[in-house]
Amino acid sequence: MRLDLVLILVSLNLLCISAMGQTGENPFGSTTSDSVSLKGDIYYLPDGTSSLPDFSRLTPVGSIYTKVLDIPKRSFTSGFPGVTDRFEWFAIRYTGTFNVGTEGNYGFRLVSDDGSRLIIDGKKIIDNDGVHAMQSVSGEAYLARGQHSIEVDYFQGPRDEIALQFFWTPPGGSEEISEPAYVPIPAEGEAGAGSSQGTGTSHGAEPSHDTGPSVSGCSWCPQDMTYLDLTGTWSCDDGGYYYIKQQGHIVWWSGESYGEQDEWYNVARGILSNCVLTLEYSDVPESSAEGFGTLVLEVLSSDEMIAREKPESYSGSYWWRVS
């Protein structure tokens, strides 16, 4: 009996060690699809590759997802569980779209072993390419409010040490590991929200709700929702102002475009629960837009909201308080 107990304890210890190794051996991201993260496509490279490849000539072997790139220098021999066991001579292209609520100069820094590169809105901001030990390169970009595309490219040459860290410094702030508010990644084959007039769907078209998964809340959200009041004037990256009134868990809004072109108006009523605002909206007859449907927004803070589900043609994705 004693021997049996010892064997059971040894087996349990081995299982725990194995599980710990598996959870800690995929620092580049998770294979679980996440629409509000960076998507990293993984590529094989020929032995002896000395710089970032031409990704347009390669076919990815799989994808991973992450909200942060924070891999200090470490050994890497396990590969990508669920994708490939390759741990050298590979490249990853991370892509996504993020929202900026404060306009100004942003500082960026990439630390990598081996090569890396940062591209924002199609412009190369940092070039840290080549086979080299861990090194840091900085850059900066002026960003307006709204959405911006981001691409972080990385490759690993010979075994077996890696490093990849992405920092940013917001205007007037201090440097931190970059974790902006990412816009939901469109589903495969989906055309995306586009820049359709106002928030309306095309005539006769049914709204689609495939821009991302439902969300159940966020870690910062107060248990007592009475401390969160969205009442005020908000701006949105669809070129509109939204006048919001919150009474308890009920939220109303009236939205309108500003400027002389693409005039539209809409109204909405919704429920706020655990930092998730679910709205039924409709364009009103004063505009040419005739859209309607369901919007699911995540309240990132008392001054920021981001769309998690919306009709395909609804162009708004990011709201920020202006008063």
User: For 78-91, what is each residue's pLDDT tens digit?
Assistant: 899 889 999 999 99
Over residues 228-267, the pLDDT tens digits come to 889 999 999 888 899 999 988 889 999 998 765 568 888 9
pLDDT reported for residue 68: 94
Nearest in space to 252 (alpha carbons), one of 238, 272, 235, 237 = 272
Average pLDDT, the chain: 80
Give the span between the Cα atoms of 59 and 217, in whole angstroms: 36
- Coil, helix or strand at residue 125: strand
Burial of residue 206, with CB atoms counted within 10 A of its CB: 0-12 exposed, 13-18 middle, 19 or more buried: exposed
Which one-letter amino acid corresponds to residue 14? L
Over residues 160-217, the pLDDT tens digits come to 899 999 999 999 999 999 988 888 776 654 433 332 233 333 323 333 333 333 333 4
Domains of the chain by start residue, with CATH: 29-182 (2.60.120.1560), 225-321 (2.40.128.20)
More confident position, 178 or 23: 178
**Sign of torsion, CA 316 40 67 70?**
negative
Give the span between the Cα atoms of 286 and 277, in whole angstroms: 26
